[in-house]
Amino acid sequence: MREIIFDTETTGLDNRQDRVIEIGGIELNDHFPTGRTFHRYIHPGDRKVHPDALAVHGITDDFLKDKPVFAEIVEELMAFFEGARWVAHNATFDMGFINAELARLDRPAVSQDLVTDTLSMARRKHPMGPNSLDALCRRYGIDNTHRTKHGALLDSELLAEVYIEMIGGRQAALGLTTKESRAQAEASDDLVVVPRARPAPLPPRLAENDIAAHAALVKKMGEKAIWSHYAV
């Protein structure tokens, strides 16, 4: 299964007026990073970066002056995501902006069926929270000390690690069987599993006085007591 872990940075919070100015994505195949990435800065047209947004990601209007507009990168973007699931933290926010940008170009929206929201996953898995990306990095022991500002590609890299931890992908990868050997085993009708014998029997958990006390109790129950059939 192919997935793209992605993140966006925007000029503000209102996707009806604000614009995407950065998008980054990390490709996973069967929950393993392939090394392929997507990262673009985008000119927001006549929309300026809101001061509150600037404080979060640090991307200035001056920095974006020579960057391509969304229409110039949309083909490359959609080609990278084609056939994959879109995975984001608080995906409602990111997909709202992506679909708003697509709508401005009269292109169809990305179906919700193709989207995975890791924030919803985290809230189900850790209902007591907190479930921000930074909090999840701390929970799973992922180093995010280099994250002083939000950045689409950096946040995607961190989220990819968090996502793999949340679904147990890293632990699953430690198995000693290959995909092919598992498939052969599952297809075999005469597979016989022989458990390995212990080199020495485990020592008894009951002391002699425990066994004697139990035997005395069973004897008091009479010959018809079911325990008499199992008494040593």
Any idea which residues carry the catalytic annotation? 150
* Phi (first) and psi of residue 81, to 5 degrees: -85, -10
Q: Is residue 7 a known part of a binding site?
A: yes
What is the DSSP track for 168-204? THHHHTT-SS-HHHHHHHHH-SS----PPPPSSPPPP
- Paired sense of beta strands 2-10 and 32-41, if any: unpaired
The span from the CA of 141 to the CA of 154, in Å, is 16
Contact 31, 169 (CB under 8 A): yes
**How wide is the angle at C-alpha 85 spanned by C-alphas 173 and 181, nearest 5°?**
30
DSSP structural state of residue 111:
P
3-class DSSP state for residue 62?
helix
Q: Is residue 62 a known part of a binding site?
A: no
Give me 35's structure tokens. 């090394």
The span from the CA of 144 to the CA of 135, in Å, is 10
Amino acid present at 207? A
Could you list the residues known to form a binding site for substrate, using ranges: 7, 9, 57, 155
Name the binding residues for a divalent metal cation.
7, 9, 155
Q: Binding site: what residues are annotated?
A: 7, 9, 57, 155
